[in-house]
Structure 1
């Protein structure tokens, strides 16, 4: 069994369905997030303030804390590919898709690549092929784009990533997911942003939402975790478990 969290990280307990008596180890947390997960499986991970803000001063990472970060790292252990919208990649300052040493060991022990593949959704290809995201990637990234993206940008990025057209004016969620599945990347972990999440909801493709409730009141004009104009039929979810670390709640919802 893995060691508990470092002493400077608050312990995480299970509140439901059955309360845990002691802090959970990484292995125990991993088992909770594997429970009921199929293959293929699309997991979406977000953090929100308790009054519904998706960001603090424009960044979702600013709402995070050590409790959220611990589970965030564990969730990256469980996927074949991390899927993120280009706007979120730029705003949050993503680098190459690498996980820590403990996660590399856990992934290798499960017969997976040491690091997940990085898949970026970008309609306009406003991405720098010289970025560490591409130049330092341990696994060749994938960029999902549109017919209207600039041919010269596609050519430049094709030197450092697999660039795939998945729609004319915007990336079609169903086509993008099919591209990943065709490459054997069936356990998908989406880290945003809100427009990509809305597209996945509209496509009825979401199997799981992992939502961290940060104990903050933000007010202001921050967006929701999903924002999109397309009308949709609500997708029903059920609460699989609730974890708590200090005043932070970690909710796991799966498709009903």
Structure 2
């Protein structure tokens, strides 16, 4: 992997795995260097939380193949995926993505344990599932065996029996909307109010589209896969279009074996 777009230098380390070189050449880059390159910005007092999205897309715009992102991913993409999770307080995902991708609880990783302790974070990020209906299988490990309780973001009008079932299973239900569904801005504010300021969403496309439309997405980490699938797969963001396209600025760009790993921040 090599760097195509400059970013601030990071300190040298010795525990290395495959990754991009700071000088633009191919070499091994440590998990610590990846974590430094993708570090969340320091709080500036103006925003309660920083919402980052991590998505993958083929050259022809497909965010999935056969309903899943794994077929268009790569080993390097998964290294970055794991690093972004390790930096986050909470991973936010739509209910359909949780079903399709077979979400499990986040696992503790020794490589990031000390950094998370120093940052005052739990051993792993919580998974927050966005669901209006709460029609979820509460017997799955995501609910029965997480290191930190799984959260469910829903609306005030959600069915009381489903809320009760979620809470009985050990999930923490967070109300983030006045009706049946979730208001994206309220979801971010609700998580910030619980002390979660480093937010990561992994979609799916409908949820990411809602965050974009609401104007609360701060950063997009987009892997461009050197594949083409044709078909009618979803784009990385769906739903109603914004009135005026939102401008983001390129923060960094990495490459490995034709895969591009871009990072854009709100301009």
- Which TM-score applies when normalising by structure 1? 0.90
Unaligned 5+ residue runs, structure 2?
A: 1-12
> For residues 202-254 of structure 1, what are the alpha-carbon distances to aligned partners after superposition, in whole Å with 9 as ceiling and x for unaligned?
11111110001111111111010000125443221111111112221100101
Secondary structure of 2:16 counterpart? coil
Q: How does 1:41-60 map to 2 (within 5 A)?
A: 41-60=50-69
Given that residues 144 and 164 in structure 1 are in contact (C-alpha distance below 8 angstroms), is that contact kept between their aligned partners in structure 2? yes
Corresponding residue for 2:4?
none
Are the structure 2 counterparts of residues 35 and 116 from structure 1 closer, same or farther at C-alpha, using a change threshold of 3 Å? closer
Displacement of 1:78 in angstroms is 1.1
Distance 1:248 1:186 in 2: 30
Secondary structure of 2:190 counterpart? helix
Kindly indicate whether residue 164 of structure 2 is the aligned counterpart of residue 152 of structure 1. Answer: no
Secondary structure of 2:174 counterpart? strand
Corresponding residue for 1:30?
35
Corresponding residue for 1:161?
171
Distance 1:135 1:62 in 2: 28
Q: 1:199 aligns with which of 205, 210, 215?
A: 210
Displacement of 1:180 in angstroms is 0.3
Displacement of 1:62 in angstroms is 2.1
Displacement of 1:13 in angstroms is 4.1
Secondary structure of 1:108 counterpart? helix
Unaligned 5+ residue runs, structure 1?
A: none
The count of aligned residue pairs is 249
Are the structure 2 counterparts of residues 230 and 48 from structure 1 closer, same or farther at C-alpha, using a change threshold of 3 Å? closer
Kindly indicate whether residue 234 of structure 2 is the aligned counterpart of residue 212 of structure 1. Answer: no
Distance 2:55 2:247 in 1: 18
Q: 2:140 aligns with which of 131, 135, 152?
A: 131
Corresponding residue for 1:189?
200
Corresponding residue for 1:227?
238
Given that residues 124 and 148 in structure 1 are in contact (C-alpha distance below 8 angstroms), is that contact kept between their aligned partners in structure 2? no
Given that residues 20 and 26 in structure 2 are in contact (C-alpha distance below 8 angstroms), is that contact kept between their aligned partners in structure 1? no
Displacement of 1:201 in angstroms is 0.6
Are the structure 2 counterparts of residues 120 and 232 from structure 1 closer, same or farther at C-alpha, using a change threshold of 3 Å? farther
Are the structure 2 counterparts of residues 82 and 227 from structure 1 closer, same or farther at C-alpha, using a change threshold of 3 Å? same
> For residues 32-79 of structure 1, what are the alpha-carbon distances to aligned partners after superposition, in whole Å with 9 as ceiling and x for unaligned?
112746462111000111111000111012211101000111111111
Given that residues 13 and 245 in structure 1 are in contact (C-alpha distance below 8 angstroms), is that contact kept between their aligned partners in structure 2? no
Instruction: Report the aligned-residue RMSD.
Output: 1.9
